[in-house]
């Protein structure tokens, strides 16, 4: 009898922690919702957003504030996205090895493009760290391109990330279709 009671108390203990987690998540989401600016507000009250909108053309060289935010101010997010898709490509390679799928020439090209573009981004960023500037910072690119460095560095970072994402998705699609053909016997 005692074992049955202890086993039945475990689910209620798990439910308790699930409810606590849900309450914390709801409070966090509610706080985020309340913190949003009112509709129609043209000047956000957030410090970073105001700076991005007010100084993006002067600081980055981009006239479009969307490109300035995406390619320059948020370049660390792009590097993390590139690392994520590099790991997706490596998982597709692992799956093709486990499933004993032949990697056709087109699949190899896309896999190579994904891995090499992501590794290029990491190597160039590491060189910037070695020189004493931040990872992929405009100070590093200024040593390469001169005074208009920030825009060039942002385009290089964005291009390498776009190449990584696109080639990773194509590579995964090729592995998936080859696996499907093998399983269905086509």
Residue-wise pLDDT tens digits, 124-140: 777 766 666 655 666 66
Tokens of 30: 């509610």
Q: Which residue has the higher pLDDT, 114 or 124?
A: 114
Place of tokens 């004993």: 100
Query: How many domains does the structure of the chain reveal?
Result: 1
Tokens of 23: 């309450």
Q: With pLDDT > 70 as the criterion, what percentage of the chain qualifies?
A: 78
The tens digit of pLDDT for each residue in 94-111 reads 888 888 887 788 888 999
Q: Give domain status of residue 15, yes or no.
A: no
Structural domain boundaries, residue 139: 74-181
- Pair 164, 86: CB distance under 8 Å: yes
- Pair 104, 114: CB distance under 8 Å: no
Q: Give domain status of residue 53, yes or no.
A: no
Neighbours of 74 (CB within 10 A): 14
Q: For residues 85 and 139, what is the distance between their CA atoms, to the nearest angstrom?
A: 27
Q: Give domain status of residue 147, yes or no.
A: yes
Q: Give domain status of residue 121, yes or no.
A: yes
Q: Closest Cα partner for 121 from 147, 155, 144?
A: 155
Residue 1 reports pLDDT greater than 50: no
Q: Give domain status of residue 64, yes or no.
A: no
25-63 b/e (C-beta count within 10 Å ≥ 16 → b): eeeeeeeeeeeeeeeeeeeeeeeeeeebbeebeeebbbe
Tokens of 6: 């202890």
Q: Give domain status of residue 87, yes or no.
A: yes
Q: CB-based contacts of 183: which residues, under 8 Å, 6+ apart?
A: none
- Pair 52, 62: CB distance under 8 Å: no
Q: Which residue has the higher pLDDT, 132 or 63?
A: 63
What does pTM read for this prediction?
0.64
Q: Give domain status of residue 85, yes or no.
A: yes
CA distances, 167 to each of 104, 105, 144 (Å): 15, 14, 27
Q: Give domain status of residue 105, yes or no.
A: yes
């Amino acid at each position: 009898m005692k074992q049955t009671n202890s086993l039945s108390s475990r689910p209620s203990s798990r439910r308790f922690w699930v409810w606590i987690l849900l309450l914390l998540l709801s409070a966090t989401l509610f706080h985020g919702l309340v913190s949003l600016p009112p509709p129609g507000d043209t000047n956000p009250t957030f410090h970073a957003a105001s700076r991005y909108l007010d100084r993006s053309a002067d600081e980055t060289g981009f006239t479009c504030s969307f490109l300035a935010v995406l390619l320059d101010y948020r370049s660390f997010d792009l590097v993390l996205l590139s690392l994520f898709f590099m790991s997706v490509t490596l998982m597709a390679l692992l799956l093709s090895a486990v499933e004993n799928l032949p990697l056709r020439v087109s699949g190899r090209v896309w896999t190579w493009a994904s891995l090499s573009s992501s590794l290029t981004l990491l190597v160039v960023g590491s060189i910037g760290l070695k020189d004493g500037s931040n990872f992929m910072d405009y100070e590093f690119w200024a040593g390469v391109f001169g005074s208009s460095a920030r825009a060039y560095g942002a385009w290089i970072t964005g291009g390498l990330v776009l190449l990584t994402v696109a080639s990773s998705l194509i590579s995964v699609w090729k592995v998936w279709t080859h696996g499907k053909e093998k399983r269905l016997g086509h």
